[in-house]
Amino acid sequence: MSSQVYRSTRSSQPEELSFEDVVMTGLAPDGGLYLPSSIPQLPSNFTETWKDLSFNELAFEILRLYINELEIPSDDLKDLIKRSYATFRSDEVTPIKKLDDNLHILELFHGPTYAFKDVALQFVGNLFEYFLVRCNNKKKEGEPRDIITVVGATSGDTGSAAIYGLRGKKDVSVFILYPTGRISPIQEEQMTTVEDANVHTLSVNGTFDDCQDIVKSIFGDKEFNDKYHVGAVNSINWARILAQQTYYFYSYFQLQKQLGGNSKVRFVVPSGNFGDILAGYYAYKMGLPVDKLIIATNENDILDRFMKSGEYAKQQEVGVKVTYSPAMDILISSNFERLLWYLIRDNVANGNDEKAGEILSGWMKELKENGKFTAPQEVVEKARVVFDSDRVSNEDTIKTIKEVYSNNPEKYIIDPHTAIGVKTSYRFIEKEPKAEYISLSTAHPAKFSEVVNKALESFDGYSFEKDVLPAELKALSTKEKRIKLIDEPSIEKVKQAIKDELKF
Ligand SMILES: *Cc1c(COP(=O)(O)O)cnc(C)c1O
């Protein structure tokens, strides 16, 4: 039985945190990210014993290796998993679809908000509730209950996945801020038509950056925090990385069964904050026979530049580029720090956890002060053992949506994020045709209607309503919206709105 403990990437002290600690805290107080210093190994016969498991059964086996039985008993863990994936529209949860020779699409968008973040956030929502309720059940009559008030800002894509993960959860409230008039109608409808009383959407008359700044100052407000226990579900939460590991295993087994053999498997992952592909790295380190993990970036290409040069540079002066794949529009990839920690520990710090934390802290300080650092050659070379990368332009994003549509007999339609991965896959298939490629599809095309229509509107017979828009999303437009308007980007007004809603 595992006895997994966790530590912060920036700590130079011994640490033995529990899974519950790291999930409920999110970001470590020293600014680092939590991770398991030892990555569990797969049972030696896993290819036989795991190959026919369902998605949920596989999730259980994997999560069990990272979460101690004493922290979450097996029956409870099974129940959490079952409830998390019962909301998906596909029995397989994350099915694969053959698109072309060597190319298989891993459809991660069958969750309630039609985006891959559901795979993690459906589970995280249940986990928050589980830990809070368990703690509250131990309290004496009259003692105040533990609560959490999740506050987040969204430019459209992540807010809805967070809301659907947390809706109706006991002792949890969620407030999502978004810039008025600057998110797409479907995104606004998804967030504002949720009826659960614990969900609140604040439409702020300002920009996305204004919303983010307000959230940051609320996090820094000690008095407010002590009272409302402000929490986050952003992409650095360890539970999200953990939950995303299942589909690497599941799709690997599905593919091997379909092809009836021992194919060399490569994963291609549209990447922004490096959370999705990092889950693949854990799967690989656990012992899943992955040949390559290929990072596919849009024009915000810090990861591709790092893989090619070893320099990790924020390019603040260039700024974040607005692309057709907005969920990947970042300057730095927050989860990359976790990969760096393992690479430093095993190649620079002689396997010493504390030393690795010390070195990584130095690099992060350099990044903060100078906007960049350069990793030693041995670190970059070790990263290249399993990672490779490429970058896809806006123009090629559109072209790829067109090509997939016109070349596929079923006229398969992909979203712009998926297109970044598919284009990268085609480039790699040309270089290495003796491998099978699993290209991760991170969103349903209906979520990015503007770009999809731009690519496909010139095709005879194409219709967004008929070919793309699912009935469930279409029906949202007739539902009543619940929105609280905040007429200026004011921290005080947002705090007041939260107080008014929570009524204490
Ligand atoms: C968040 C997101 C990504 C990027 O995932 P990371 O874990 O940040 O690398 C890609 N596509 C879509 C649609 C997303 O929402």
Q: pLDDT tens across 407-423, in order?
A: 999 999 999 999 999 99
Output the ligand 1 site: residues, CB below 6 A. Answer: 115-117, 157, 235, 270-276, 327-328, 417, 442-443
User: What is the rounded CA–CA span in Å between residue 329 and residue 158?
Assistant: 13
Averaged pLDDT, 282-305: 98
Report yes or no on 488 lying in a domain. Answer: yes
- CA pseudo-torsion sign 375, 297, 25, 59: negative
List the residue whose alpha carbon is closest to atom 14 of ligand 1. Answer: 327
Tell the residue nearest (CA) to atom 2 of ligand 1: 327
Q: Respond yes or no: is residue 117 known to be catalytic.
A: yes
In this prediction, residues 424-434 reach a mean pLDDT of 98
Spatial distance between the Cα atoms of 118 and 456, rounded to a whole number of angstroms: 27
β-strand 34-36 against 6-8: which pairing, if any? Answer: antiparallel
* DSSP-based three-state secondary structure for 212: helix
Q: Which atom of ligand 1 is nearest to the CA of 418?
A: 11
| Catalytic residue selected from 82, 98, 117, 222 | 117
Instruction: Give the helix ranges, DSSP H, for 310-445.
Output: 336-347, 353-370, 377-386, 394-407, 416-431
pLDDT of residue 10: 97
Substitution candidate for ligand 1 out of 118, 245, 273 with most atoms within 8 A of CB: 273
Q: What is the pLDDT of residue 178?
A: 95
Per DSSP, what are the bridge partners of residue 7?
A: 35
pLDDT at 1: 46
Classify residue 383 as exposed, middle or buried by CB count within 10 Å of its CB (0-12, 13-18, 19+): buried
Q: Which residue has the tokens 């967030």?
A: 191
In angstroms, what is the span from residue 262 Cα to ligand 1's centroid? 29
3 state DSSP class of 111: coil
Rg of the chain (C-alpha set): 22
Query: Please, what is the average pLDDT of the chain?
Result: 95
pLDDT of residue 467: 97
Predicted local confidence at residue 440, as pLDDT: 98
- DSSP assignments along 171-194, one per residue: TEEEEEEEETT-S-HHHHHHHHT-
Residue type present at position 392: V
DSSP string across 268-288: EEE-SSSHHHHHHHHHHHHT-
Mapping DSSP to helix (H, G, I), strand (E, B) and coil, where does residue 329 land?
coil
φ, ψ for residue 297, nearest 5 deg: -110, 160
Give the separation between CA 16 and CA 14, rounded to whole angstroms: 7
User: Does residue 361 surpass a pLDDT of 80?
Assistant: yes
Residues in Cβ contact with 200 at an 8 Å cutoff, skipping those fewer than 6 apart: 173, 174, 175, 176, 482, 484, 497, 498, 501
Report which ligand 1 atom has the smallest distance to the Cα of 443: 13
Q: Whose CA is nearest to atom 11 of ligand 1?
A: 442
Residue closest by Cα to atom 15 of ligand 1: 327
Q: Is residue 252 part of a domain?
A: no
Atom of ligand 1 nearest to the CA of 271: 9
- What separation in Å is there between the alpha carbon of 443 and the centre of ligand 1? 9
- Ligand 1 centroid – CA 419 distance (Å): 13
Distance CA 344, CA 37 (A): 12
Nearest CA to 161 among 79, 243, 218, 71?
A: 243
Q: Are 391 and 420 in contact (CB under 8 A)?
A: no
Residues of the chain above pLDDT 90, percent: 89
Q: Which of 111, 115, 198 is nearest to 154 (CA)?
A: 115
pLDDT of 157 reads 77
**Does residue 78 lie in a domain region?**
no
Hey, which of 106, 113, 114, 116 would you mutate to test ligand 1's pocket, going by the most ligand atoms within 8 Å of its Cβ?
Answer: 116
Which residue's alpha carbon is at the smallest distance from atom 8 of ligand 1?
273
Q: Determine the distance separating the centroid of ligand 1 and the alpha carbon of 245, expressed in angstroms.
A: 15
Structural domain contains residue 414: no
Q: Could you identify the residue written with the tokens 């920690």? A: 341
Residue 184: its pLDDT value, please? Answer: 85
Cα 296 to ligand 1 centre (Å): 11
**Which element (helix H / strand E) includes 492?**
helix 491-502
Task: Please tell me the distance from the alpha carbon of residue 457 to that of residue 447, in angstroms, as a whole number.
Answer: 16
Report if residue 212 sits inside a domain.
Answer: yes
Q: Give the Cα separation of 244 and 249 in Å (integer).
A: 10
Domain that residue 473 falls in: 147-228+469-503
Mutate which of 323, 334, 417 for ligand 1 pocket (most atoms within 8 A of beta carbon): 417
| Under 8 Å between Cβ of 149 and 166 | no
CATH number of the domain that residue 201 is part of: 3.40.50.1100
State how far the Cα of 109 lies from the Cα of 117, in Å rounded to an integer: 8
Contact 338, 278 (CB under 8 A): yes
- The rounded Å distance from CA 8 to ligand 1 centre is 23
Q: Is residue 104 part of a domain?
A: no
* pLDDT tens readout for residues 302-319: 999 999 999 999 998 999
Residues 6+ apart with CB under 8 A from 51: 253, 256, 257
What is the percent of the chain where pLDDT is above 70? 100
Give pLDDT tens digits for 450-500: 999 999 999 999 999 999 999 999 999 999 999 999 999 999 999 999 999
Tell me: the pLDDT tens digits for 193-242?
Answer: 999 999 999 999 999 889 989 998 998 899 998 899 998 887 789 999 99
The C-alpha atoms of residue 424 and residue 419 are separated, in whole angstroms, by: 8
User: Relative to the CA of 415, which ligand 1 atom is closest?
Assistant: 13
Q: What is the pLDDT of residue 368?
A: 94
The identity of residue 434, as a single letter, is K
Distance 357 CA to ligand 1 centre (A): 27
Any domain includes 339: no
What's the whole-number mean pLDDT along residues 91-112? 97
- On whether the CB atoms of residues 339 and 363 are closer than 8 A, the answer is no
- Best probe residue, ligand 1, of 237, 297, 328, 440 (max atoms within 8 Å of C-beta): 328
Interstrand relation of 103-107 and 96-100 (parallel, antiparallel or unpaired):
antiparallel
Minimum-distance ligand 1 atom for the alpha carbon of 158: 15
- What's the pLDDT score for residue 219? 87
Which residue's C-alpha comes closest to atom 7 of ligand 1?
Answer: 275
Please report whether residue 213 resides in a domain.
yes
Number of domains in the chain: 1
Provide the b/e sequence for 171-204 (b: ≥16 CB within 10 Å).
Answer: bbbbbbbbbbebbeebbbbbbbbbeeebbbbbbb
pLDDT at residue number 2: 57
Is 94:251 a contact under the CB 8 Å cutoff?
A: yes
pLDDT-derived band of residue 185, with 50, 70 and 90 as boundaries?
confident
Ligand 1 atom at minimal distance to the Cα of residue 276: 7
pLDDT at 125: 96
User: Ligand 1 centroid vs 442 CA: distance in angstroms?
Assistant: 7
